[in-house]
Amino acid sequence: MMHFLATYGTQLIAKTGQHLYISAFALALGVIVAVPLGILLTRMKRGANLVITLAGVLQTIPAMALLAMMIPIFGIGSTPAIVALFIYSLLPILRNTYLGMQGVSPTVRDAAKGMGMTWWQSMLRAEIPLAAPVIMSGIRLSATYVIAWATLASYIGAGGLGDFIFNGLNLYRSDLILGGSIPVILLALLVDYLLGKVEFAVTPKQFK
C-alpha cells in the first residue's frame, strides 16, 4: 500500500477529486429535479405512478449501455457521465420524496389550513419537515449508488477512480484494482455516514 501511495499518490488525489466532482454534480441535479417533482406528484390525482414507473424503467437500463447512449449526444468526458448518473439518481429520491409526502397525515394539512397558512407555507413549515427523514434516506441511497456507478465513467474518458480499476483489469495488476476500489468504498461509506447525520438532524424531535 505504501508503495502504491508513493507511486500513484498524486494521481490518486486528482482522480478522487474527479470522482467526487462527477458524483456530487449528478446527485445535486437529482435532488434539484426529483425532490420538487416528487412533491408535485403528491398533488396530482393522475400520472404519479406513471412518472415513478418511468424513472424505474430508466434505472433498469444497463449502466454501460446508458453511458454509450450519451456519447452521440454529449460526446466523451464528464458531461455524459454526469447526465447518465443523474438519470440513475432519480428513482430513489423521487420515490422517497413521494412516499414521504404521502405519509404526512391529512390532519397536518387541515391544521395548517385552519391556522391560515397558504399552500406554500403549509408545504415549507409542516409537510416537508415531517417528510424530510424519508426524503433524506432516498438521497443517501442515491448517493451510494452514484459513487459506485461513477467508476464506470472511466470508460468514456470522464476520469475518476475507475481509471485505476480498469487499468488494473487490463494489466492484471491487483494493486491498481485495489487502489481504485478501496477509495470508492471509503467514499461511499463516508458520504453515507455524513448524510446519515443530516438525516438525523432534519428528523423532527418527536421521532428521534
At residue 53, the pLDDT reads: 85
- Residues 67 and 205: their CA atoms lie apart, in Å, by 42
For residue 162, give the CATH number of its domain: 1.10.3720.10
Separation of alpha carbons 38 and 142, rounded Å: 15
Between CA 8 and CA 1 the distance in angstroms is 10
Question: What backbone phi and psi angles, to 5 degrees, belong to 91?
Answer: -60, -55
Question: Residue 97: pLDDT above 90?
Answer: yes
Q: Residue 1 in contact with residue 57, Cβ under 8 Å?
A: no
Is the pLDDT at 183 greater than 80? The verdict is yes
- 18-41 in b/e form (b: 16+ CB < 10 A) is bbbbbbbbbbebbbebbbebbbeb
What nine digits make up the cell of 58? Answer: 430508466
Number of domains in the chain: 1
Residues spanned by the domain of 202:
2-207
Give the pLDDT confidence score for residue 68 in this predicted structure: 84
Inter-residue contact 149 to 63 (CB < 8 Å):
yes
Quick: pLDDT tens for 125-173: 888 888 899 999 999 999 999 999 999 888 888 888 999 999 888 888 8
Read off the pLDDT of residues 36-90 as tens digits, 9 standing for 90 and up. Answer: 999 988 887 677 788 888 888 888 888 888 888 888 888 888 899 999 999 989 9
| Helices (H), ranges, 150-208 | 162-171, 174-202
Query: What pLDDT score does 45 carry?
Result: 67
